[in-house]
Amino acid sequence: MTPLPGGRNTIERIARLGYGARGAVYVVVGALALLAAVGQGGRAGDSKDALRAVLAGPFGAVVVGLIALGLLGFAIWRLVEAVTDADRRGTSAKGLAVRGAHLISAGLYLALAASAASLSLGLGMSGGDGMHDWTAWLLAKPFGRWLVALGGLAVVGGGFGFLGKAWRGDVTDRLALDARARERWAGPIGRFGYAARGLAFLIIGGFLVAAAWHQRSSDAKGLAEAFALLRAQPYGWVLLGLVAAGHAAFGAFGVIQARYRHIDAPDIDRVDDAAGAAVRALT
C-alpha cells in the first residue's frame, strides 16, 4: 500500500479531522434512511437529524461536541482550499467554479458545526429551517426569484458533477492508495456514494427551481424531503434503500479520505498571506 504523503502540519490535521467528522455524519444519515426504507425506523432525515440521533446515544453530548469540532475543521479546510488553491484547481472557469463551491461548502459546514456545538451544549439546535428561511429572504429581494433559480441550477450542476465523477470513476485520484486497493474497495465505495449524493442534489436543486418558479419558499426543500420524494415513488422503499445505502457509502468514503487523501496543506503563514491578498483584491 502506498505510504501517506509528507509530513503533517496543523492544517492537514484539521482537514483530516474534518473529513472524518463529515463522514461520520453521512454514515448516520444513510443508516437512518436505510432503516426507514425497510420499515425499522422513523423518518429519513438530514444531517441535523443525524446529529440528534447521535446525541441520543451513549456519551451523546461528547460525541456530538467532537463532531462539531471536526465539522469546524472541515469548514476551515474548504476555506483554505478556496483561498489558497491548495488542490491546484487553477484559475480556469472549471477551477474557479470548484473553488467557489468550496467557499459555499465552508459556509454550510460552519453553520452545521454551530448547530452541532449548540446541541452538544444542551442549547438545542441553533437556527430555524435554513433552506426555507434563506429562500424566503431571497424571494423578498429585488431579482431574488432569479437568484433562487440560479442557486437551484447551481445545485443541479453540482449533482451532475457528482454523477459524472461516479461515472468516470476518478473518485480515488487524490488517495494515497495502490491500484489494487482503489479497484477493490475504495473506488466502488466512493463511486456509489458520489452517485447517491448526485441524485440527491438533482432533487434538491429541482426543489429550489420550483420555489423560484412559484415564488414560494415552502417549495425549497432539503435532503429529508428528497428522501421522502423517493419513498413516495413506485417501489420507493427500494429507491430510498439504494440512495440511503449510497449516503452511508459516501460517509464511509469520507472516513477513507480522512486516512488516505493526499492533502497538500499550506503553512498557516501562507494561508494568512493568501487570505490577506484576497481581501485586498476585493477592496
CB 23 within 8 A of CB 255: yes
Domain boundaries, the chain: 10-273
pLDDT of residue 175: 94
Give me the pLDDT at residue 188, please. Answer: 96
Question: 61-96 b/e with 16+ CB inside 10 Å = b?
Answer: eebbbbbbbbbbbbbbbbbbbbbbbbbebeeeeeee
Helices and strands (DSSP H and E) totals, the chain: 11, 0
Residue 93: what pLDDT? 87
Give the pLDDT confidence score for residue 91 in this predicted structure. Answer: 84
What is the grid cell recorded at 197? 449524493
Q: Angle between the 187-214 and 236-260 helix axes, to the nearest 10 degrees? A: 120
User: What pLDDT sits at residue 196?
Assistant: 97
What residues have CB less than 8 Å from 269, skipping those under 6 apart? Answer: none
* Positions of the chain with pLDDT lower than 70, given as ranges: 1-8, 125-130, 267-283
Could you write out the DSSP letters of every residue in 48-90? Answer: HHHHHHHHTSTTHHHHHHHHHHHHHHHHHHHHHHHHH-TT---
Q: What whole-number distance in Å separates Cα of residue 133 and Cα of residue 276?
A: 32
Residue 89's pLDDT is 85
